[in-house]
Amino acid sequence: MSFNPELAKHDLLKIAQYRMPYGKYAGQLLIELPEPYVVWMYNKGLPAGELGKMLGLLYEIKVNGLESLFTPIIKQLKKPSPGQ
């Protein structure tokens, strides 16, 4: 399997915007979930589907200290649109 930078960018953007749909952190952005919670979810067994995929990627990001990858993405998302 080869690395696809566009897919990686898409996944990072999705994690930056995806909200936890249930549980203690319902409504919180995935990237803002505490690392111990993400590790607990990973060890417990990730849910199937899109959420499981995003939590699996988030686990790798958090345990490897790569949250800084999200700084430019979050800045871009918080930037007001032209005309606002």
Does 84 reside within a domain?
no
Low-confidence ranges of the chain (pLDDT < 70): 1-7, 77-78, 80-84
Does 41 reside within a domain?
yes
Give the burial string for 12-41 (b: 16+ CB within 10 Å, else e).
Answer: beebbebebeeeebeeebbbebeeebbeeb
Centre a 10 Å sphere on the Cβ of residue 70 and count the other Cβ atoms it contains.
18
Does 30 reside within a domain?
yes
Number of domains in the chain: 1
pTM of the model: 0.76
Does 23 reside within a domain?
yes
Does 18 reside within a domain?
yes
Does 49 reside within a domain?
yes
Residue 1 is predicted with a pLDDT of 47
Containing domain of residue 25, as a range?
Answer: 5-75
Does 44 reside within a domain?
yes
Residue 12 is predicted with a pLDDT of 82
Does 80 reside within a domain?
no
